[in-house]
Amino acid sequence: MPTNPLPRLLASLAIISLISAAIGLILPRVSDLPAVAPLHMILALGVMPLILGAISYFIPVLTRTSSPEPLVLLSPIGALIAGLLVTLSLSLTYKLYPVAAGIAVLAAGRLLWWSQQRAKATLGRPHPGLLWYQLALGALILGLLIITLAALWPEQWLPLKRLHLHINTLGFVGLTALGTLRVLLPTVGGFPDPQAGLWLMKEWRWLVAGTLLIATGATWSTLLAEIGLLLWLISLVRMIQGLLKAHQGKLWQWHGAAISLIAAVIGLVLSLISGALHGHGMLPTSQASEAFVIAFLLPLVTGAATHLLPLWLLQSQPEKQKQLREQLGYLSAVRGLAFLIAGVLTLASQPLAFLIAIAALCQFFIQLARPLEIAAIEDENSK
């Protein structure tokens, strides 16, 4: 067994996240479940545990401290249990989501407390990415408390549910994704990026403000939501300009993780615009949510998995990691483009969108089979 079990747990959570996304996209087409159930399968069961696990993995790097203690694994595992409970609650007749929210709050709160302890143990100042993770965890906790309050205050269910949705998708998922992407893109592209830390130190204020404005505006004022949208788009444009103009030759490739991650950034822009259309009554919630999953989350998770899964599955074997990255990243530009096209077609209510998204996801699963086989052989040989 590896001395640090977190990488293998993360590999499992990444696979669970992709499977949850596939099932969550299929379910609305083969069952009469409410739309909120498949969405929570994707976000609560798939994405939330993976993000908490990834934060646990990256915090020691950002604080230049030792590997996480085994107890830290309780946070992503607790989030996985919470995600399973809320998915069952929304799919069946059991009202377990207040319990699920409580478990998730404890998991996120434990991780937030641990991140602060690691920050205090840092020699010098922690990497600015740490603050982004702490803000994302704070957003998750706030969003979960809001939906718990909504369960106790049914008269305000709809506005509180909207607050919960936007604070969790933009505040939790969005801040985590951008904070990671700003560092991960130069890593996978193989170039130094001295501007990354400066961008992280400057932009978090605008994105936090934008998230709060969008969340409150979606509930009470369209104008506030549009101001928040503008703040998000300005930060994303600055990020794209800073990376793509200077390093386009290393990022715009047919193969590899970088192009999938760029597709995720473009997908996030598309999702923000679709959210604005939804706010003006031009788009139903289900379409905007599905476009967020297809155009943003799927290229994000497959792109990050392309780079990180080999690291998690084959620790201390750089040559094999490189081979597996090449396998997972084969034709990733085509896959990323397929996700974006499917996202646009989803907004246009075209049934073909689902088939394109599932086909692209299946292509990644097929490429993933060989790395999992190699990792299983390595495990068997190490026993």
Give the H/E segment covering residue 215. helix 196-220
Sequence-separated (6 or more) residues with CB below 8 Å from residue 104: 44, 48, 78, 79, 82, 83, 140, 144
pLDDT at 1: 43
Which CA distances in Å does 334 have to 90, 224, 230, 312?
Answer: 35, 37, 30, 25
Give me the pLDDT at residue 267, please. Answer: 95
**Alpha-carbon distance 114 to 111, whole Å?**
5
Q: Is residue 13 within 8 Å of 76, Cβ to Cβ? A: yes
Euclidean distance between CA atoms 366 and 368, whole angstroms: 5
CA–CA gap between residue 251 and residue 254 (Å, rounded): 9
pLDDT score for 169: 94
Q: How far apart, in whole angstroms, are the C-alpha atoms of residue 13 and residue 255?
A: 24
pTM summary value: 0.94
CA dist 225 and 279 (Å) reads 8
65/49 Cα distance (integer angstroms): 23
H or E segment to which residue 377 belongs: helix 352-382
To which residue do tokens 């599905």 refer? Answer: 290
- Find the angle CA(287)-CA(330)-CA(381) to the nearest 5 degrees: 110
pLDDT score at 383: 59
Say how far apart CA 303 and CA 188 lie, in whole Å. 10
pLDDT tens by residue, the chain, 383 residues: 446 788 889 999 999 999 999 999 999 888 888 878 899 999 999 999 999 999 999 999 999 998 888 889 999 999 999 999 998 888 776 677 889 999 999 999 999 999 999 999 988 888 999 999 999 999 999 999 999 998 888 888 888 999 999 999 999 999 999 999 999 998 898 888 888 889 999 999 999 999 999 999 988 888 999 999 999 999 999 888 878 777 777 788 888 899 999 999 999 999 999 988 888 777 888 899 999 999 999 999 999 999 999 999 887 778 888 888 888 999 899 999 999 999 999 999 998 999 999 999 999 999 988 777 776 666 666 65
Enclosing H/E stretch for 311: helix 298-313
The answer to whether 117 and 131 have CB atoms below 8 angstroms apart is: no
Structure tokens at 304: 């990050």
For 300, the token pair is 């994000």
